[in-house]
Structure 1
Amino acid sequence: MFAAYASTTDADRPLDALVLGDRPDPEPADGWTTVTVRAASLNHHDLWSLRGVGLDASRLPMILGTDAAGVDTDGNDVVVHSVVSDPEWRGDETLDPKRSLLSERHPGTLAEQVAVPRRNLVPKPSALSFEDAACVPTAWLTAYRMLFTRARVVPGQTVLVQGAGGGVATALITLGAAAGARMWVTSRDPAKAERTTALGAERVFASGERLPERVDAVMETVGAATWKHSLRSVRPGGTVVTCGATSGHGAETELNRVFFLQLQIVGSTMGTRDELERLLAFLERTGIRPVVDRTVALRDVREGLSAMEQGDVFGKVVVTL
């Protein structure tokens, strides 16, 4: 089958490690099944894998991709939940120390077919296209968990999203606004920041700009470049939720501010299968849909990865098969 995979890794030039070509068809283990992929989407995880972060040489070659929507062997339209937990694990699979994402230990979704545990299949609502559904399992699920599980955002609260253009950021803005929260956004790119108003953002600010008032919660995906601003933007007793650090991990903690203002700093990673089901139902009922920056064929996936590496995207890059 045709696939996009990492044949090696390159920390400085990740796209040099990308190969497009044939790979063996999947052979599902017991309890697993095969999904024929109709659409997938790209994430920064794919670039990190090509750089060798979380993917060592012993697992190469590795098919990339964590997100997919397609058709199972029984002809059902499905969305793939990409968090693979230990078969014996019970409960929140994001807490399983043995968990992994597709494309870390098991071949990923940027292929004509992918093998997944049967329990990882979620019915695709008929109202969602394959392209929309393929955007959901990583970026949108991450945003959903950050907002509603970890920060427990409720209607009327004010939420600051650091960074405007990526898949998680656009999901945070869209989901939060649909749930009745006041969504504020910061960005280094004024054009991207302004585009978020169409998604439901109430106010947009330059990166690091002092806010007119402190917010109830901050959604932090940027890391070192925005961390200080995040701590100084949240109200006493408020919450900062972090799911990543694209600008680096070496931020000053400012513990005096944390304990004196009784701030809650909460980590968040991906989401559970149950949360994915609830998220899909939320999209179906509200009519909101993922923001798609561009759609490329699998053979042209290098174009999408290059745009993402350069930061030249607003929303998700969808890959069709």
Structure 2
Amino acid sequence: MKAAVVHSWGDADQLSVETVPDPTPNDGEVLVELRASSLNWHDVILRQTGRGFTTPSILGMDGAGTRLDTGDDTIIYPCLNWGSAETAPGKDFAILGDSTDGTYADLVSVPVDNLFPKPEHLSWEEAAALPCAGLTAYRAMFTRADLQEGETVLVLGAGSGVSTFAVTFGAAAGAHVLVTSSSIDKIESVRAIGAERGFLYTDPDWVEQVVEATGGGVDVVISGTGANLAEALGCLKPGGRIAVFGSSAGRTATFEVPSLYFGQFTILGTTLGSPTDFGQMLQFVEKHQIRPVIDSTWALDDIVAAHQHLESRRHLGKIVLVNKAE
């Protein structure tokens, strides 16, 4: 089969499209012929650092395709060994494409329990854009932050796959969705998919703008940035909650602890989601006929350029690979 292989951790040009042996399924696994896959920031970090995993490696956690055993159209749940608890993953938790070969390929072998029916209203490219980012947004907003109809949610950093899903999911649930960005163009783009207002985080008083515009702060903040936790807390109304799913702006955050307890705030950590979350997310997507925001599509042969585009941070929504053309 054809696959994008990493032989040495580093820059995007370490990715090489090659012919490699087809995977052999282990017990409880099936082969999926991939029609499309998509890129995540996790892939970039793994490609750059290796995180202790070995090479050669085929990256990729997102994918949609056809089960070779049944011929069914399927979408892949990207987590391995979540465990029995809904509250957090277990000690054997892993991600497809880390220690196992992933979806940057013609074929992938995955546990049969990781295969869910592809939503019928989605194209292959849209389905492949959904797993990691859609799951992360859904669990952050609904399982963890318990966002309710009529509440106001602020999504930090309009542009990423997770943030565009958070906007569309929040709007579909009847919440008032606000966003931040460094770009007026990105704010206007996400307003077209459900955001009611946007704020430039390059403005020194953007937190005050949020508080004033909402009459005292928002109910929920969804953050993949991490480092600006003090500003995020400053946007909350008393009793508000913040769900943190990433640390793209930095791994260390500093804030005044009294603001936390006097504000009665709740800080929630979240990552990806359980099989239950994934099934509920797919039901939500089908109920509301939600379509992912796709920034661009690339042939698997163009994997290096696709990774470089992701690293440029100029994208809005998901970057998708076409593994097998129609």
Q: Same fold (TM over 0.5)?
A: yes
Q: Does 1:221 align with 2:217?
A: no
Map of 2:4 onto structure 1: 4
Matches within 5 A, 1:160-309: 160-207=154-201, 209=206, 210=208, 211=210, 212=212, 213=214, 214-224=217-227, 226-309=228-311
Aligned match for 1:99, one of 68, 72, 93: 93
Indicate conservation of the 8 Å contact 1:173/1:199, yes or no. yes
Matching residue of 2:56: 61
How much is the aligned-residue C-alpha RMSD, in angstroms?
Answer: 1.4
Distance in 2 (CA, whole Å) between partners of 1:315 and 1:4 is 22
Once residues 103 and 308 of structure 1 are traced to their aligned partners in structure 2, the CA distance between those partners, rounded to angstroms, is 18
8 Å CA contact 1:94, 1:270 repeated in 2: no
- Share of identical aligned residues, percent? 38
Name the amino acid aligned to 1:286. Answer: H
Query: What residue is the counterpart of 2:32 in the other structure?
Result: 35
Matched, 1:75 2:71: yes
Task: Measure the CA separation in 2 of the matches of 1:24 and 1:256.
Answer: 58
Distance in 1 of aligned mates of 2:230 and 2:55: 38
- Cα shift at 1:55: 4.3
| From 115, 122, 137, the counterpart of 1:121 | 115
Note the C-alpha offset of 1:126. 1.9
Write out per-residue CA displacement over residues 34-90 of structure 1, whole angstroms, 9 at most, x where no aligned residue.
Answer: 11101101101111111115243xx2111010000001121010111110007xx42
SS of aligned partner of 1:39: strand
Structure 1 stretches of at least 4 aligned residues deviating more than 4 Å after TM superposition? none
Structure 1 residues without counterparts, runs of 5 or longer: none
Task: Mark the runs of 5 or more structure 2 residues left unpaired by the alignment.
Answer: none
- 8 Å CA contact 1:69–1:79 kept in 2: the answer is yes
Normalising by structure 2, we get a TM-score of: 0.93
Instruction: Give the TM-score normalised by the residue count of structure 1.
Output: 0.94
Deviation at 1:185, TM superposition (A): 0.5
Deviations 1:94-135 (A, max 9, x none): 511211101111100110000101111111122222111111
Deviation at 1:294, TM superposition (A): 0.5
